[in-house]
Amino acid sequence: MASSTAAAFAPQTNDLDAFWLPFTPNRAFKRAPKLIARAKDMHYFTPDGRAVIDGLAGLWCVNTGHNRDPIVAAIAHQAAELGYAPAFHFAHPKSFELASRVAALAPGDLNRVFFCNSGSEAVDTALKIALAYHNVRGEGTRTRLIGRERGYHGVGFGGISVGGIVNNRKFFGSLLTGVDHLPATYNREQQAFAKGEPAWGGHLADDLERIVTLHGASTIAAVIVEPMAGSTGVLPPPQGYLKRLRAICDKHGILLIFDEVITGFGRLGCAFAAERYGVTPDLLCFAKGVTSGAVPMGGVIARESIYDAFMHGPEHAIELFHGYTYSAHPLACAAGLAALDLYRDENLFDRAKRLEPRFADAAMALKGLPGVLDIRTVGISAGIDLASKPDAVGERGYAAMERAFHDEDMIIRVTGDTLAIAPPLIVSEAQIGEIFEKTARVIRAVA
Per-residue model confidence as pLDDT tens digits over 223-240: 999 999 999 999 999 999
Per-residue model confidence as pLDDT tens digits over 115-172: 999 999 999 999 999 999 999 999 999 999 999 999 999 999 999 999 999 999 999 9
Cα separation, 409 vs 419, in Å, equals 16
The answer to whether the beta carbons of residues 306 and 112 sit under 8 Å apart is yes
Cα separation, 398 vs 414, in Å, equals 7
- What confidence score (pLDDT) does residue 107 get? 97
The answer to whether the beta carbons of residues 283 and 249 sit under 8 Å apart is no
Per-residue model confidence as pLDDT tens digits over 29-85: 999 999 999 999 999 999 999 999 999 999 999 999 999 999 999 999 999 999 999
CB 344: neighbour CB atoms within 10 A?
12
- Half-sphere exposure in the Cβ direction for 178 (13 Å, CA): 15
pLDDT at 1 over 50: no
Cα separation, 398 vs 407, in Å, equals 14
- What confidence score (pLDDT) does residue 422 get? 98
Q: What is the mean pLDDT of residues 203-217?
A: 98
Q: What is the CA radius of gyration of the chain?
A: 22
The answer to whether the beta carbons of residues 130 and 220 sit under 8 Å apart is no
Parallel, antiparallel, or unpaired: how do β-strands 413-415 and 110-116 relate? Answer: unpaired
Q: What is the mean pLDDT of residues 4-10?
A: 63
pLDDT at 2 over 60: no
Categorize the per-residue pLDDT at 9 as very low, low, confident or very high, splitting at 50, 70 and 90: low
pLDDT at 424 over 80: yes
Q: What is the mean pLDDT of residues 321-343?
A: 98
- What confidence score (pLDDT) does residue 4 get? 61
Q: What is the mean pLDDT of residues 363-390?
A: 98
- What confidence score (pLDDT) does residue 247 get? 98
Q: Please report, rounded to a whole number, the percentage of residues in the chain having pLDDT higher than 70.
A: 97
Q: What is the mean pLDDT of residues 87-110?
A: 98
Q: Which of 7-11, 123-127, 281-285, 397-401 has the lowest mean pLDDT?
A: 7-11
Categorize the per-residue pLDDT at 11 as very low, low, confident or very high, splitting at 50, 70 and 90: low
The answer to whether the beta carbons of residues 324 and 318 sit under 8 Å apart is no
Domains in the chain, ordered, with CATH? 5-64+347-446 (3.90.1150.10), 72-345 (3.40.640.10)
Q: What is the mean pLDDT of residues 85-92?
A: 98
- Nearest Cα residue to 243 out of 211, 289, 197: 197
The SS3 call for residue 223 is strand
Per-residue model confidence as pLDDT tens digits over 225-279: 999 999 999 999 999 999 999 999 999 999 999 999 999 999 999 999 999 999 9
Angle at the Cα of 109 from the Cα atoms of 104 and 115, rounded to 5 degrees: 60
